[in-house]
Amino acid sequence: MNNSVKPDRVIIFDTTLRDGEQSPGASLNIEEKLTIARQLARLGVDVIEAGFPYASPGDFAAVQRIAEVVGEEQGPIICGLARATRADIQAAADALRPAAKKRIHTFIATSDIHLQYKLKKDRHEVLAIAEEMVAFARSLVEDVEFSPEDAGRSDPEFLYQVLERAIAAGATTVNIPDTVGYTTPEEFGALIKGIRENVPNINHAVISVHGHNDLGLAVANFLEAVKNGARQLECTVNGIGERAGNAALEELVMALHVRRHYFNPYFGRPIQSEDPLTQIDTRQIYKTSRLVSSLTGMLVQPNKAIVGANAFAHESGIHQDGVLKHKLTYEIMDAQLIGLTDNQIVLGKLSGRNAFRNRLQQLDFELTEDELNRAFLRFKELADKKREISDWDLEAIVNDEIQQAPELFHLEFVQVTCGDRSQPTATVTLRTPDGQELTDAAIGTGPVDAIYRAINRVTDVPNELIEFSVQSVTAGIDAIGEVTIRLRYQSKIFSGHAANTDIIVASAQAYVNALNRLSIFRQQGRTVHPQRDHETVREKSAIPS
Ligand code: KIV
Ligand code: ZN
């Protein structure tokens, strides 16, 4: 991407792997992050914020791996977040080193409430830190983004000064965060306009926006910001992120696409121009949404704009009649535009390895030989139980089988008896990494309760089950069921996900999957949170070189 200071289109900065991963329960392992990063590159995002390298050695390694694998010359810019400290900025630069195009994103809060209670610093100190740390970041990389955190509640006059100093020190993008999702569209648009008019050197940087959805206004705020000169939008797939989440990538991209004639004049284009306003391949949107949802365990609500299960379903008679007469009566966009194709029945019991491999290639899955072998075995098992296998089934198999959390406990065996005249009873066997097989049994109020009690007896990992859900991948009695669960341990949430035609087996696997994530967290210990852990300075040796 040409990082010109006046882009004539919108730059999509994806922060699913950083702000999105800060959502309770959304934590991802390194392989899962890499899978998402690859898909984001296919989607065509301009910048991937791959994480906060200083948080832990695991976060550092994930950013470094994404920089290596996805950060090629033709690929997106790879960005790492850093608080305005030397240690954070150095860690980001080190992790990003393998990327062809790298960006350090550093931030410090500017609202009085953050200065007084979080930073315990005055405005002069914050100005000096912002200037010094942007200059330090710029001494390490060419592309530096600066964010005045909580800009939405900051005094605009102070904001102008901080931004001017950050740009003078070398910031190439200045990002305006509505950190707590407080502003309204009109206010946010006016804030961007004020910055454009009052920061003397603003033409030397791209104006970016970042916003949370606490009042459900994030996307509306961004669109108003675009009209007032913002040219980079920071967003996440499915809108996941801290608290109520971030502005949703798919909503922004499709709003700019469907209403391009409305937005064209703000880019100095002729109203009727059909040139896209972003470089996103919209046909990858649905697939990206499904991938992020299945790996993070953050389910998409059925009525969610663009990617929800009902977004293109026409239930009411009047609507169906209208859509049959002419699609445009009730549809403003074609489902195919986001890659939501008809659920094609493509494979069956007699399909061979080649047909399987070819279909996965057509669906843009890049699997290693080993992953392909495992997925094929799983496909054969499924084909014995289910006559017709659709693209959505294939996607469920691949997401489930290939992209699993590292296993501390492996589910070897599960058996349940239940019915209206018996006490639900489960027996489970788990295998530990040293090959030990542990078996136990329990009774419960239902089959899933019995399984979870039996697993708890074996693993002895303290946790509280806070959410359990089952969804079917396709219609039909032989459909694959996807189970997602969320566990709480010491105020942190862990999710687990599994897919199987037997929902009892899927329930057991999803639980073991979540327990594995929880146990790994207990082994690795706490990570630094970029916004809440203001004082933490990690030992330098914790970051691998
Ligand atoms: O919400 C926020 O302010 C952030 C910053 C780190 C940009 O996520
Ligand atoms: Zn944020």
Q: Identity (one letter) of the amino acid at 271?
A: I
Ligand 1 atom with minimal separation from the 177 CA: 3
Instruction: Assign 326 a pLDDT band (cuts: 50, 70, 90).
Output: confident
Give the pLDDT confidence score for residue 470 in this predicted structure. 92
Q: What is the 3-state secondary structure (H, E, C) of 467-515?
A: EEEEEECCCCCCCCEEEEEEEEECCEEEEEEEEECCHHHHHHHHHHHHH
User: What is the average per-residue pLDDT within 449-461?
Assistant: 96
Q: How far is the CA of 148 from the centre of ligand 1 (A)?
A: 8
Q: How far is CA 169 from CA 122, 204, 284, in A?
A: 20, 11, 38
User: Could you tell me what percent of the chain has a pLDDT over 90?
Assistant: 69
Question: Could you tell me if the CB of 210 is within 6 A of ligand 1?
Answer: yes
Contacts for 271 with CB less than 8 Å, ≥ 6 apart: 261, 264, 265
Average pLDDT, the chain: 91
pLDDT at 106 over 70: yes
Give the pLDDT confidence score for residue 125 in this predicted structure. 97
Q: How many helices (H) and strands (E) does the chain have?
A: 17, 16
Q: How far is CA 3 from CA 77, 172, 200, 204, in A?
A: 10, 9, 20, 11
DSSP 8-class letter at 212 = B
Whether 205 and 172 have beta carbons less than 8 Å apart is answered as yes
Taking the C-alpha atoms of residue 396 and residue 400, their distance in angstroms, rounded to an integer, is 6
Give the pLDDT confidence score for residue 390 in this predicted structure. 84
Q: How far is CA 318 from CA 328, 331, 332, 334, in A?
A: 14, 13, 16, 19
- Report the predicted TM-score, pTM, of the whole model to 2 decimal places: 0.91
Nearest residue by C-alpha to atom 5 in ligand 1: 149
pLDDT in tens, 373-409: 888 988 888 888 887 888 888 888 887 776 566 678 9
pLDDT in tens, 416-433: 999 999 999 999 999 998
pLDDT at 277 over 80: yes
Give the pLDDT confidence score for residue 322 in this predicted structure. 65
Burial label for 420, CB within 10 Å (0-12, 13-18, 19+), is: exposed
Nearest residue by C-alpha to atom 3 in ligand 1: 179
pLDDT in tens, 4-30: 456 899 999 999 999 999 998 888 989
Question: Could you tell me if the CB of 152 is within 6 A of ligand 1?
Answer: no
Q: Which CATH class is domain 410-524?
A: alpha beta
CATH architecture of 11-296: Alpha-Beta Barrel (3.20)
Instruction: Assign 515 a pLDDT band (cuts: 50, 70, 90).
Output: very high
Ligand 1 atom with minimal separation from the 211 CA: 1
Question: 17-28 b/e with 16+ CB inside 10 Å = b?
Answer: bbbbbbbbbbbb
